[in-house]
Amino acid sequence: MSIEAMRKKDYPGSELTIEQTLEDGSNYHQYIASYKSEGLQIFGLLSVPMGNNPPAGGWPAIIFNHGYIPPEQYKTTEKYVAYFDAFAKNGYIVFKPDYRGFGDSEGKPEGAYYSPAYTTDVLNAFSSLKKYREVNSKKLGMWGHSMGGNITLRSMVINPDIKVGVIWGGVVGTYDELMNKWHRASPWTPSEREIQGHITSIRQNLIQKYGTPQQNPTFWHIIDPRYFLRDISGPLQLQHGLADEEVPPLFSESLKNDLDNLGKPVELYTYPGADHNLSQDLDMALQRSVDFFDKYLK
């Protein structure tokens, strides 16, 4: 779980296997694809621009890290349709990995904050997409929402090849903030599949063994990407609705301040009255993210 330990691991990924051809989008093909992560078969949604004239070197690509959805309810082709489409139709290969235990993916869901499992799946997805024949292996970025924002930030302090990141409504606070300043409007309860994956006991076991962030800051700092921001792999865009009742805007604001203090390229857009999904300002928010990726990947 420590950042240093995760940097030492290998994330070879595998070839992306096309499992199912879906209906085309406006100007892109769509597939369900799979890859390997720690021996597990992980599924995901893949889009590839139409046409026989990709840019020299291949298409730029985005790993799309979805937020929390109960694993049993998660379906590869549902949710985030407009978000995914915004990048797919603008000349990007996009891959949205399901993470282990979600939908049809093998393995048990372990959560993103107290287990390295989902980040491992995403780093293997990154390696797999990098190998894909139409991708420019030097032009890959990440987008993440909510829980996926935490995975994106963690990935960007582990893998230096992630050129740029965008995080919406991200769970990007420090562990102290996550434990003491995160009060959700509707309390989270684990699903049956998550109970089988011991998702709640993973956190409890860490606290029992190492204490809380106040009692043992040294331990919590070594697993917290917020304490490795000097190594972040590229520019970061943050977006957050100020009426978000799921994840406090404070998380994005404090991350922006830390990156500013380190002289790292970062921008933060906040939206008064906008919810966790930025529904009230969706078109503007998506355009800002497309422009940000265009700036650094095209």
Q: What is the pLDDT of residues 20-59, one digit of tens each?
A: 999 999 999 999 999 999 999 999 999 999 987 889 999 9
pLDDT of residue 217: 97
Whether the per-residue pLDDT at 1 is higher than 90: the answer is no
What distance in Å separates the CA atoms of residue 25 and residue 81, rounded to the nearest whole number? 10
pLDDT of residue 288: 99
Q: Is 222 left (phi over 0), alpha (psi -120 to 50) or beta?
A: alpha
What distance in Å separates the CA atoms of residue 115 and residue 105, rounded to the nearest whole number? 17
Whole-number Cα distances in Å, 263 to 173, 231, 267, 292: 19, 12, 12, 18
Helix (H, G, I), strand (E, B) or coil at 46: strand
Helix (H, G, I), strand (E, B) or coil at 21: strand
Q: What is the pLDDT of residues 59-88, one digit of tens each?
A: 999 999 999 999 999 999 999 999 999 999
Residue-range definition of the domain harbouring residue 175: 3-297
**Spatial contact of 158 and 77, defined as CB atoms under 8 Å apart:** no
Whether the per-residue pLDDT at 186 is higher than 80: the answer is no
Average pLDDT, the chain: 96
The CB density around residue 69, as the number of other CB atoms within 10 Å, is 18
The CATH number for 30's domain is 3.40.50.1820
The strand pairing partners of 140, in sequence order, are 61
- Let me know if 270 is exposed, middle or buried by CB neighbors in 10 A (0-12, 13-18, 19+): middle
**Spatial contact of 98 and 42, defined as CB atoms under 8 Å apart:** yes
Residue of 73, 93, 75 lying closest to 84 (CA atoms): 93
Question: How much of the chain exceeds pLDDT 70, in percent?
Answer: 100
Whether the per-residue pLDDT at 189 is higher than 90: the answer is no
pLDDT of residue 63: 99
pLDDT of residue 183: 85
pLDDT of residue 214: 96
pLDDT of residue 17: 98
Whether the per-residue pLDDT at 166 is higher than 80: the answer is yes
**Spatial contact of 68 and 189, defined as CB atoms under 8 Å apart:** no
Whether the per-residue pLDDT at 197 is higher than 80: the answer is no
Mean pLDDT of 83-94: 97
**Spatial contact of 281 and 288, defined as CB atoms under 8 Å apart:** no
Q: What is the pLDDT of residues 105-160, one digit of tens each?
A: 999 999 999 999 999 999 999 999 999 999 999 999 999 999 999 999 999 999 99
Mean pLDDT of 261-267: 99
Q: Is 211 left (phi over 0), alpha (psi -120 to 50) or beta?
A: left
pLDDT of residue 44: 98
Q: 0.95 cut: is pTM over it? A: yes
Report the number of distinct structural domains present in the chain.
1
- Let me know if 267 is exposed, middle or buried by CB neighbors in 10 A (0-12, 13-18, 19+): middle
Mean pLDDT of 84-108: 97
For residue 64, what is the enclosing H or E element? strand 59-65
Whether the per-residue pLDDT at 104 is higher than 90: the answer is yes
